């Protein structure tokens, strides 16, 4: 590089010098000065060649990392490999007494000069900490600087500048003291050198006027570089071709002469490229005013297109300086470098007093006069450091320095340096306000200059200009000019043209790590600026909409925001502004900046950046994704963006839906352990889901098509309710319910969990407005099992209680959406479940009726007990009723009729404790424990309430004719209010939910409730509230109730009917003749509960052979003829056991463990599936031989069709299902969903009719084939199976209705359970999946049985061994269970159980009980298995319809069939108290377990083994 063929490479010469030094330096009296100068010459030569390639001036990386072919980088590597040379230079050659210590009477000055020169040359590859680590070096440098002997003074200044970049050096007390004296000297020295350089330039201009062509003979390129034979400058590139290409290329130019690059323009590649690359950056054909045309860019004329033009412009574009012999330029650069790191400290301000440093820097920056871009660049770096102090920024803007920054040659190092200064200016708001007050043409020049930097500068120049815009966008003046200059497109192009965002893999794979990092940084800064851009426009648009809304409402508009003041919005303000805009902005209104961003493709680009950042690993990833999400949040106001997020877009490796990416980000999949990113994603979801259904300018469900619809623009004219419904559906389709529910229960990270919960709950509130989502959520267990109540009680972190209050608010809203409206003020606690809300809804819709005469009786009783006998007598005479007490004589104790004694209530108890009532007794005697009654009158006491119910007040005689209005507020009834016409009271809804311990409530709560209503308290309302509170306490309240009895406690009847089958089997069996065939309703279900809670082990099959300890069983299945038992093993074998003879046959089927075996019903075919190593599945024929018929290479799971077993369905990866015809062996269907759920244990399966297929939560029609429906994903593992009744799908705990696609119920006991039905389809066997631990796989030691008709738990059968699999025989009389020992005993076996029979020891216990009782027990034993063991052959039902009334068991799936206390107290119940003692053995929900292991049962037969 840079060498001709007949001259050796610089690297070879340099290595020769190192070898020469290595040989000679051990000699006595060795002087290394000359060889160090030779090394420095080579390094400086290659440094100039490297700088000619125009690297980034802020580049601090090793040259080899910038350009691996660079000779300078190779030289530096060769130098630092020689550690002895490095040590000698720093430890000895830079000592001023080197020769003196060697015993020579010789000055070390020249050696020190050569050593310092060499160190300056190796700085690009030097770790600058070495300067501080070298003992005494920094002190020596200060001594040389103060000595002022050139060139050592300048060299020491340059090295000291590098050392000052270390913070620990610059802040040391001794160094600060030295710098306080050195800085003023350097400033004075700098001014002297500047004046001297000005004189030299004046002299040079005079000489140039005398000899106009002398420039070309004195080019600074003459010494370090030569022109090759082809006229090419070594290390620079051929200028002529490059110039023609630039000016004749395909890139267009805009009105300002700047290069226009669209979204699909050519990408700029990294790496070198010489001067051609530098000139390509120049997108302008003109310079700043006053510049000659030839300097900026080579002219198009061929006569002027020569290398001489580059010789003339090199100093202006790249800059060049020689350090040996040291020049004025080099001395000034070293001083500027020294002052640059020191200028950032506060101490520097006092040291610059009177130095007029800004004037000095202005003269340097004026490249028009100095013609030196290198010197200007160093001055700009110092100026940027000064801009850390507001004093200098304000002074610079006030003196017109801003225009000087924009007059840099383009392109040049100075232009890149000016971008840093502009960025520092924008960091201060006061300075930006002054800038915004400048004339408009100055601001236009500023914005256009920064836009040029976006496209034509170095990489750091681009980044600084991007960051400048990010800080300047809040100022409307800059923002308006930016929009008018088409700035958004240029800002968009900074990332759209990057290779890291490219769709082509070659572009991304060809990048180096450094290039990839720089491009990621560009994406980071651009997304930050876009965020500021859209947020500024958001503030402006909200201000306009609010003013317009106030004007329309007749109010005065808000005062306008000053254009020079910034729009600063906090995150909460941004969220509030977005919702304000959703409420006020016209649905079809235009928002120009966001529309431009959409037109450019910004939405898809941001989603692509978010998705691709999954593979990025650098510190700014979280900030990049967060800013991208914040931009999407603002853009989500536009309906087009909402629809775009619901559509698929292409990624480099796949396609994805935008909302799916946002949901994944919210779950922490894109950027793990970043709560800020999760909150940003959740805010996007809140804006999408919680917006108004009907927005301004849009009519809900337009009946007639608009003209734009007829033009075909259906996407643009969708009504707002259609758009938000599509958003709701898309969130559901991408498993948003499951994701948000999981986030609502998150506990990590500790400091942010409360805010994440609140946002997730808020998003769910918006989604709950969708009827489909509401139906699904209403069946989820989180609303029933108390989990939500526990979450509402306490925050995760006590310091975040404010966030927890938000979560509570949204949670109550969510409960209202899911279960219907309710009044939260009536609930003083948060323990609200869906069951409570259902009962409250029933009570609220119940008509409260009571007998008015009973009310008069109670009034009479109250008057008598209060001593008002005359008033009581008047009431008795006017009304015809039988009094409860005798009112003849005040001192006579009251006499209660028998009926009043039946009506037991705490108030009666209190009355009966009164021995001698007197008129002075307080009037709070009827102490019914109810909460305070709301009233419009504050400070109501019990006395005031009693005063309301005077005898003159008309009684609510029309109460029985009133019914509750159609309100969904829980526990509300109609009550009369005060009206001018007593005969027609006005109904009003009032809260009626009462907690029966109101005496404990504070007065403040009562007053709060009193102040919340405008209704009056009446006697009728009090009675209605009292009766409603009693009704609310019923276990099963009914909407239609008979007249309430005021003298008896109210209780709704229980669910069990008189005709229901008895719980006891003996009673039930005796009634079969009266109520055939099962002894009454639900008799068959009770029989199943009895039979499938008893299992008796009868036989065990163990593997034979030497490897039986390792070859454990993994799966099992009965043959179709029930003659054989197939068992898969860990080592890939399938063992076939003859159930009659117990003969074992082993077949090698796979190389890995067989987790699935399925024989056909005709016992001719068998399917086996294994875990790894293809083929995963195989089909075998079973006859005289076990022959392989077909291999299924990619089908991880395979099973037969259900109705007619003429085909098989296979499950491949990526949710693909394949169907094969068994007659032809050919593939007949391939089902690939448009969007999959990604279940970890997806198993494709047929429905009982073979018309439908379920795969990965997607329902298919096999006949079409087409995708029918995608069920919401509410678990991560199990896809689901069909219920044998063909009407339901069971997916983990969820039960879906195939006909309506509604979620019917959830069965918590089925969580993470593999489901196996018995042959009749009436019973479900639940087998817990294995748990993958760190060092082992753990299995549960029990299996469960469920009633398939209502999914109630029958029993949990404890085996005391790990259960790996099970299957039921075709006649349902036997059950095979794969068991494996735990701990030391890991023996594996397939154990056979008889269904419906007790174990042997249990039978013995029952026999003992019969002897002691003198008779047989009522419960069934194994001897009563006739007609039950295998089920009734005539029973065709595959799922008894879910009964309206259960037999006392918990229908939610708890499986407890034990009767409740209400059942025992019910006189109409068929069950006697003594029969209940036997129910523990009869009923479900029991655990079949004992203290003895089942291997000890003598009746069990063991097969196999030794």
Q: DSSP readout, 708-738? A: HHHTT-TTTS--HHHHHHHHHHHHHHTTHHH
Contact 1118, 1160 (CB under 8 A): no
Type and span of the H or E element at 759: helix 753-767
d(CA 824, CA 843): 16
Model confidence at 273, pLDDT cuts 50, 70, 90, reads very low
d(CA 951, CA 173): 95
Model confidence at 269: pLDDT above 60: no
* pLDDT at 894 (0 to 100): 41
Model confidence at 275: pLDDT above 60: no
* pLDDT at 892 (0 to 100): 40
User: What is the three-class DSSP state of 836?
Assistant: helix
Report pLDDT digits (tens) over 738-749: 999 999 999 888
- Choice among 29-43, 196-210, 298-312, 1417-1431 with the minimum mean pLDDT: 1417-1431
* pLDDT at 860 (0 to 100): 87
d(CA 386, CA 404): 16
Percent of the chain residues topping a pLDDT of 70:
73
- Provide the phi-psi class of 1225: left if phi over 0, else alpha when psi is between -120 and 50, else beta: left
Model confidence at 895: pLDDT above 70: no
Model confidence at 1491: pLDDT above 90: no
What does the pLDDT average to over 559-577?
Answer: 87
Query: Helix/strand/coil (H, E, C) string of 29-80?
Result: CCCCHHHHHHHHHHHHHHHHHHHHCCCCCCCCCCHHHHCCCCHHHHHHHHHH
* pLDDT at 418 (0 to 100): 94
Model confidence at 1456: pLDDT above 70: no
Report pLDDT digits (tens) over 425-455: 999 999 999 999 999 999 999 999 999 998 8
User: Measured at the alpha carbon of residue 1020, what is the angle toward residues 1016 and 1024, in degrees to the nearest 5?
Assistant: 105
* pLDDT at 124 (0 to 100): 93
Model confidence at 132: pLDDT above 80: yes
Q: DSSP readout, 1004-1043? A: HHHHHHHTT--PPP-HHHHHHHHHHHHHHT-SS--SS--P
Report pLDDT digits (tens) over 961-1013: 333 333 333 333 333 333 333 333 333 333 333 333 333 333 333 334 434 44
Percent of the chain residues topping a pLDDT of 90:
39
Considering 375-389, 1164-1178, 1318-1332, the range whose residues carry the highest mean pLDDT is 375-389
* pLDDT at 168 (0 to 100): 93
DSSP state of 1120: T
Model confidence at 1494: pLDDT above 80: no
* pLDDT at 560 (0 to 100): 81
Model confidence at 633: pLDDT above 50: yes
d(CA 106, CA 233): 43
Report pLDDT digits (tens) over 333-368: 999 999 999 999 998 988 888 788 999 999 999 888
Model confidence at 466: pLDDT above 50: yes
Kindly report the backbone phi and psi dihedral angles of residue 785, in degrees, each rounded to the nearest multiple of 5, phi listed first.
Answer: -90, 10
| Backbone CA torsion sign across 1461, 1467, 1470, 1475 | positive
Report pLDDT digits (tens) over 818-848: 876 654 444 344 456 677 777 788 888 888 8
Model confidence at 1208, pLDDT cuts 50, 70, 90, reads very high
* pLDDT at 819 (0 to 100): 77
Kindly report the backbone phi and psi dihedral angles of residue 630, in degrees, each rounded to the nearest multiple of 5, phi listed first.
Answer: -65, -40
d(CA 1482, CA 1488): 12
d(CA 1197, CA 1215): 12
Report pLDDT digits (tens) over 70-112: 999 999 999 999 999 999 999 999 998 888 887 888 888 999 9
In angstroms, what CA-CA distances link 305 with 228, 229, 283, 286, 297?
A: 18, 18, 18, 16, 10
User: What is the three-class DSSP state of 432?
Assistant: helix
The distance in angstroms from the start CA to the end CA of the chain is: 81
Contact 992, 1029 (CB under 8 A): yes
Structure-token pair, residue 772:
């489909």
Report pLDDT digits (tens) over 157-215: 999 999 999 999 999 999 999 999 999 999 999 999 999 988 888 887 777 666 655 55
What does the pLDDT average to over 315-328?
Answer: 79
What does the pLDDT average to over 1497-1502?
Answer: 48
- Choice among 411-420, 934-943, 1306-1315 with the minimum mean pLDDT: 934-943
pTM of the model: 0.72
């Amino acid at each position: 590089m840079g060498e001709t063929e007949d001259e050796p490479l610089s690297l070879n010469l340099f290595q020769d010098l190192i070898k020469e030094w290595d040989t000679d330096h051990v000699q006595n009296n060795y002087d290394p000065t000359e060889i160090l100068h030779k090394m420095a010459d080579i390094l400086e030569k290659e440094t100039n060649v490297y700088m000619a390639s125009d690297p980034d001036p802020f580049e601090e990386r090793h040259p080899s990392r910038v350009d691996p072919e660079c000779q300078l980088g190779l030289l530096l590597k060769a130098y630092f490999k020689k550690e002895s040379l490095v040590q000698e230079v720093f430890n000895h050659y830079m000592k001023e007494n080197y020769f003196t210590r060697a015993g020579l009477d010789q000055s070390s000055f020249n050696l020190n000069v050569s050593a310092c020169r060499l160190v300056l040359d190796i700085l690009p590859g030097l770790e600058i900490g070495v300067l501080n680590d070298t003992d005494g070096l920094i002190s020596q440098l200060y001594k040389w600087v103060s000595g002022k002997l050139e060139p050592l003074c300048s060299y020491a200044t340059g090295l000291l500048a590098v050392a000052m970049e270390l913070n620990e050096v610059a802040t040391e007390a001794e160094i600060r003291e030295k710098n306080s004296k050195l800085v003023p000297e350097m400033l004075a020295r700098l001014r002297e050198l500047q004046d001297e350089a000005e004189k030299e330039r004046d002299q040079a201009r005079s000489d140039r006027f005398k000899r106009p062509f002398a420039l070309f003979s004195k080019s600074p390129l003459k010494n370090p570089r030569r022109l090759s034979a082809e006229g090419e400058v070594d290390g620079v590139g051929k200028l002529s071709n490059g110039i023609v290409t630039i000016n004749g290329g395909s890139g267009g130019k805009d009105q300002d002469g700047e290069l226009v690059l669209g979204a699909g323009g050519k990408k700029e590649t990294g790496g070198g490229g010489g001067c051609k690359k530098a000139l390509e950056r120049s997108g302008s054909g003109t310079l700043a005013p006053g510049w000659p045309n030839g300097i900026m860019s080579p002219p198009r004329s061929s006569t002027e297109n020569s290398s001489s033009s580059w010789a003339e412009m090199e100093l202006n574009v790249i800059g060049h300086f020689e350090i040996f012999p040291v020049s004025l330029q080099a001395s000034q650069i070293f001083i500027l470098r020294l002052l640059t790191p020191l200028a950032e400290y506060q101490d520097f301000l006092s040291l610059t007093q009177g130095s007029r440093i800004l004037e000095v820097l202005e003269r340097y920056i004026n490249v028009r006069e100095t013609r030196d871009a290198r010197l200007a660049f160093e001055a700009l770096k110092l100026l940027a450091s000064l801009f850390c102090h507001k004093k200098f920024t304000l002074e610079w803007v006030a003196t017109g320095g801003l225009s000087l920054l924009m007059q840099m040659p383009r392109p040049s190092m100075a232009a890149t340096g000016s971008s840093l200064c502009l960025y520092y200016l924008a960091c201060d708001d006061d300075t930006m306000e002054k800038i915004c007050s400048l004339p408009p043409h100055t601001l236009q020049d500023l914005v256009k200059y920064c836009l040029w930097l976006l496209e034509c500068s170095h990489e750091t120049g681009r980044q600084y200009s991007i960051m400048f815009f990010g800080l300047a966008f809040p100022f409307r003046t800059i923002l308006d000019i930016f929009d008018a200059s088409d700035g958004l497109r240029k800002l968009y192009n900074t990332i759209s043209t990057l290779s890291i965002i490219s769709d082509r893999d070659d572009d991304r794979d060809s990048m180096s790590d450094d290039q990839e990092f720089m491009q990621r940084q560009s994406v980071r800064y651009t997304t930050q600026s876009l965020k500021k851009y859209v947020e500024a426009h958001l503030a402006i648009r909200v201000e306009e909409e609010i003013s317009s809304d106030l004007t329309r409402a007749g109010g005065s508009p808000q005062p306008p925001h000053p254009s020079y003041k910034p729009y600063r919005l906090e995150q909460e303000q941004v969220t509030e502004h977005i919702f304000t805009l959703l409420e006020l902005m016209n649905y079809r209104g235009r928002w120009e900046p966001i529309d431009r961003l959409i037109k450019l493709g910004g939405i898809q680009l941001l989603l692509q950046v978010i998705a691709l950042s999954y593979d990025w690993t650098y510190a700014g990833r979280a900030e990049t994704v967060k800013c991208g999400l914040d931009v999407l949040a603002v853009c989500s106001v536009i309906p087009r963006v909402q629809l775009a997020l619901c559509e698929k877009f292409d990624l480099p490796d796949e396609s994805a839906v935008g909302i799916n990416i946002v949901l994944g980000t919210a779950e922490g999949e894109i950027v793990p352990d970043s709560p800020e990113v999760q909150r940003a994603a959740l805010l996007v979801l809140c804006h999408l889901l919680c917006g108004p259904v009907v927005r301004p300018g849009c009519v809900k469900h337009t009946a007639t098509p608009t003209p734009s619809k007829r033009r075909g623009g259906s996407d643009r004219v969708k009504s707002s309710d259609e758009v938000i419904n599509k958003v709701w559906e898309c969130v559901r389709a991408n498993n948003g319910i499951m994701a948000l529910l999981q986030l609502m229960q998150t506990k990590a990270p500790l400091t942010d969990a409360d805010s994440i919960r609140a946002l997730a709950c808020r998003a769910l509130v918006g989604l709950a407005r969708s009827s489909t989502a509401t139906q699904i959520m209403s069946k989820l267990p989180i609303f029933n099992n108390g989990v939500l109540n526990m979450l509402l009680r306490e925050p995760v972190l006590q310091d975040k209680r404010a966030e927890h209050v938000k979560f509570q608010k949204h949670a109550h809203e969510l409960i209202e959406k899911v279960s219907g409206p309710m009044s939260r003020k009536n609930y003083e606690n948060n323990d609200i479940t869906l069951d409570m809300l259902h009962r409250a809804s029933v009570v609220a819709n119940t008509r409260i009726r009571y007998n008015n005469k009973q009310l008069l009786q109670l009034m009479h009783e109250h008057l008598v007990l209060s001593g008002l006998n005359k008033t009581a007598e008047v009431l008795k005479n006017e009304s015809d009723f039988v009094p409860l007490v005798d009112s003849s004589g005040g001192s006579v104790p009251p006499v209660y009729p028998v009926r009043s004694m039946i009506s037991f209530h705490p108030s009666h108890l209190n009355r009966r404790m009164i021995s001698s009532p007197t008129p002075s007794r307080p009037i709070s005697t009827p102490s019914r424990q109810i909460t305070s009654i709301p009233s419009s009158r504050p400070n109501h006491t019990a006395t005031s309430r009693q005063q309301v119910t005077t005898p003159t007040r008309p009684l609510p005689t029309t109460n029985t004719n009133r019914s509750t209005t159609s309100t969904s507020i829980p526990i509300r009834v109609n009550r009369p209010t005060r009206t001018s016409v007593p005969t027609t009271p006005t109904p009003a809804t009032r809260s009626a939910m009462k907690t029966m311990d109101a005496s404990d409530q504070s007065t403040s709560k009562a007053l709060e409730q009193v102040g919340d209503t405008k209704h009056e308290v009446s006697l009728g309302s009090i009675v209605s509230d009292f009766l409603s509170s009693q009704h609310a306490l019923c276990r099963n309240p009914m909407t239609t109730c008979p007249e309430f009895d005021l003298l008896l406690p109210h209780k709704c009847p229980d669910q069990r009917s008189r005709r229901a089958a008895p719980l006891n089997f003996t009673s039930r069996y005796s009634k079969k003749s009266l109520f055939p065939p099962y002894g009454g309703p639900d008799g068959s279900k009770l029989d199943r509960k009895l039979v499938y809670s008893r299992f008796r082990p009868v036989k065990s099959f163990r593997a034979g052979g030497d490897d039986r300890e390792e070859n454990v069983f993994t799966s099992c299945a009965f043959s179709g003829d029930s003659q054989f038992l197939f068992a898969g093993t860990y080592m890939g074998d399938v063992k076939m056991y003859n159930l009659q003879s117990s003969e074992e046959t082993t077949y090698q089927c796979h190389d890995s463990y067989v987790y699935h075996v399925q024989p056909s019903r005709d016992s001719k075919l068998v399917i086996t599936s294994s875990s790894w190593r293809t083929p995963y599945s195989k089909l075998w024929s079973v006859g005289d031989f076990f022959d392989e018929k077909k291999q299924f290479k990619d089908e991880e799971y395979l099973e037969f069709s259900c109705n007619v077993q003429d085909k098989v369905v296979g499950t491949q990866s990526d949710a693909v299902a394949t169907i094969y015809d068994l007659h032809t062996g050919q593939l007949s269907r391939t089902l690939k969903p448009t969007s999959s759920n990604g279940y970890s244990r997806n198993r494709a399966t047929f429905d009982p009719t073979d018309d439908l297929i379920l795969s990965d939560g997607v329902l298919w029609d096999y006949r079409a084939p087409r995708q029918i429906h995608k069920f919401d994903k509410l678990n991560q593992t199990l896809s689901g199976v069909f219920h044998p009744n063909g009407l339901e799908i069971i997916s983990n705990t969820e039960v879906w209705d195939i006909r309506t696609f509604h979620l019917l119920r959830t069965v918590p006991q089925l969580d993470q359970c593999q489901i196996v039905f018995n042959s009749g389809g009436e019973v479900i066997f639940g087998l817990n999946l294995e748990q993958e631990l760190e060092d082992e796989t753990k299995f549960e030691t029990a299996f469960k049985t469920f009633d398939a008709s209502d999914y109630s738990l029958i029993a949990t059968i404890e085996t005391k061994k790990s259960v790996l699999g099970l299957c039921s025989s075709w006649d349902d009389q036997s059950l095979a269970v794969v068991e494996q020992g735990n701990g030391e005993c890991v023996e594996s076996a397939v154990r056979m159980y008889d269904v419906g029979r007790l174990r042997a020891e249990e039978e013995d216990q029952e026999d003992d009980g019969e002897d002691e009782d003198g008779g047989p027990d009522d419960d069934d034993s194994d001897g009563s298995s006739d007609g039950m063991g295998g089920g009734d052959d005539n029973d065709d039902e595959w799922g008894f319809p879910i009964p309206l009334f259960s037999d006392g068991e918990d229908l939610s799936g708890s499986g407890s069939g034990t009767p409740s206390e209400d059942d025992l107290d019910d006189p109409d119940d068929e069950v006697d108290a003594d029969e209940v003692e036997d129910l523990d053995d009869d009923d479900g929900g029991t655990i079949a377990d004992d203290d003895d292991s089942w291997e000890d049962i003598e009746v069990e037969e063991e097969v196999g083994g030794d």
